Amino acid sequence: MNPLLELRDIRHAYGTQTVVNNLSLKLEKGAIGCLLGPSGCGKTTVLRCIAGFEPVSAGEISVNGAVMSNAGFCLPPERRHIGMVFQDYALFPHLTVQANIGFGLHRMQKAERAARVGEMLKTVGLAEVPDKYPHQLSGGQQQRVALARALAPRPDLLLLDEPFSNLDVTLRGRLSLEVRDILKNQNATAILVTHDQDEAFAIADEIGVMHQGEIQQWDVAYNLYHRPANRFVANFIGQGVFLPGKILDSQHVEIELGTLAGDLPHQCTPDCQLCREGNAVDVLIRPDDIVHDDDSPLRAAVVHKAFRGADIMYTLRLPGGGIALSLVPSHHNHAIGEKIGIRLETDHVVAFRQSAP
């Protein structure tokens, strides 16, 4: 089955500055993808290229097998049958909720249009406020109107550009789950752009971590966290620290906290020099890899603590002087300077060539 959206080695530059470089991705129909990365990595430019707001200087973008852009061609945005939810929602202030939602349905018969608007009002939970104006709505309600307006014409693809950035943290978390449910209910294919990992994890089926105009890894959230493809992804996704380690064999790495068993460290191949016995590596240790255990003989000193409600994130100084993180249930409330028992509990070995000091 052909993907609904395919980008093949696209490139975009502003003058001599390359912003997107040889980027490729595929998205199946009904899937939700996400471009995740820090500011300036090129993720919004990719979205604008898909929408047709920016040309590509190389490569090709296709939707449903039809070419949207290549080096010599750029189909106008209005002919792409692609919906978009902008960062500021871009609602029409002089139109009611139902008029905003029905704005792109002018080609429908009046009765069909009214039925579709009514369906979308129910879908986004705004059936009680069809006659209100944008300024009478909360930020979350405005976001739903923008989403309903974009979905109403049944676009082949929906693009969402940082859609929750104007909302507070609590509302952002709740709405991200609601938006996923709405998109899945409509069987919509969508691409989200965000710098927020929690949003990406809550909404997307697949996530592309971007850096300097390239996708470093296109994968599900679990693999990005537990099986990062390179050091940038390992550093960017979640929290963790690198501890020095030594290769014992192709399945074992020794660090200060004990011996890790698992697949070959990252960057290893059967003939790789890195994986030889005794070689030095940097091993990624996540906060959930270090378990608080009062009975453990291995002790670490608390140097910082961040209370998070159900959990406390402890920064610990290990006996050898290294620093590690541990996420501990908050009823284990320890003081700065106190030594606590810990043990290593890992399921994955994530190791990279040791960086220069």
Span 85-114, pLDDT tens digits: 988 888 999 999 999 999 999 889 999 999
pLDDT digits (tens, 9 = 90+) for 57-91: 999 999 999 999 999 999 999 999 999 998 888 89
Token pair 């129910």 is found at: 122
Where is the domain boundary, 232, 251, 266?
A: 232
For residues 119 and 51, state if they share a domain: yes
Residue closest to 82 by CA, chosen among 190, 178, 173: 190
Contact 265, 274 (CB under 8 A): yes
Mean pLDDT for the chain overall = 91
> Interior CA angle at 327 toward 314 and 174, to 5°?
120
Q: Which amino acid is residue 353, in one-letter code?
A: R
- Residue 269 pLDDT more than 80? no
> Interior CA angle at 25 toward 50 and 36, to 5°?
80
From the CA atom positions of the chain, what is the Rg in Å? 24
pLDDT digits (tens, 9 = 90+) for 335-345: 999 999 999 98
Question: 31: which 2 tokens?
Answer: 């899937």
**CATH (domain of 85):** 3.40.50.300
For residues 260 and 212, state if they share a domain: no
Where is the domain boundary, 176, 200, 232?
A: 232
Under the banding of pLDDT at 50, 70 and 90, the label for residue 352 is: confident
- Residue 356 pLDDT more than 80? no
pLDDT of 169 reads 78
For residues 204 and 275, state if they share a domain: no
Domain count, the chain: 2
For residues 209 and 253, state if they share a domain: no
Q: In this prediction, what percent of the chain has a pLDDT beyond 90?
A: 74
**CATH (domain of 345):** 2.40.50.140
For residues 184 and 244, state if they share a domain: no
Can you name the residues that pair with 192 across neighbouring β-strands? Answer: 34, 160
Instruction: Tell how far CA 46 is from the center of its chain.
Output: 15
Residue closest to 193 by CA, chosen among 203, 183, 184, 185: 203
Question: CA-to-CA distance for 233 and 151, rounded, in angstroms?
Answer: 32
For residues 289 and 203, state if they share a domain: no
Mean pLDDT of 157-172: 86
For residues 205 and 290, state if they share a domain: no
Q: Crossing angle of helices 169-185/139-151, nearest 10°?
A: 20
pTM confidence score:
0.90
Where is the domain boundary, 232, 259, 294?
A: 232
Under the banding of pLDDT at 50, 70 and 90, the label for residue 192 is: very high
Under the banding of pLDDT at 50, 70 and 90, the label for residue 264 is: low
pLDDT of 167 reads 79
For residues 139 and 288, state if they share a domain: no
The helix/strand/coil state of 351 is strand
Question: CA-to-CA distance for 28 and 187, rounded, in angstroms?
Answer: 11
Q: Name the residue with higher pLDDT: 347 or 235.
A: 235
What is the span of the domain harbouring residue 53? 5-232
For residues 284 and 164, state if they share a domain: no
Q: Name the residue with higher pLDDT: 12 or 346.
A: 12
Question: Which parts of 279-334 are beta strand (E)?
Answer: 280-285, 290-292, 299-307, 311-317, 323-329
For residues 100 and 221, state if they share a domain: yes
Alpha-helix residue ranges (DSSP H) falling in 211-337: 221-226, 231-236
pLDDT of 267 reads 54
- Residue 275 pLDDT more than 70? no
For residues 257 and 227, state if they share a domain: no
For residues 121 and 245, state if they share a domain: no
How does DSSP classify residue 350?
A: -
DSSP code string of 36-61? E--TTSSHHHHHHHHHTSS--SEEEE
Contact 226, 347 (CB under 8 A): yes
Mean pLDDT of 32-36: 98
Question: CA-to-CA distance for 317 and 294, rounded, in angstroms?
Answer: 16
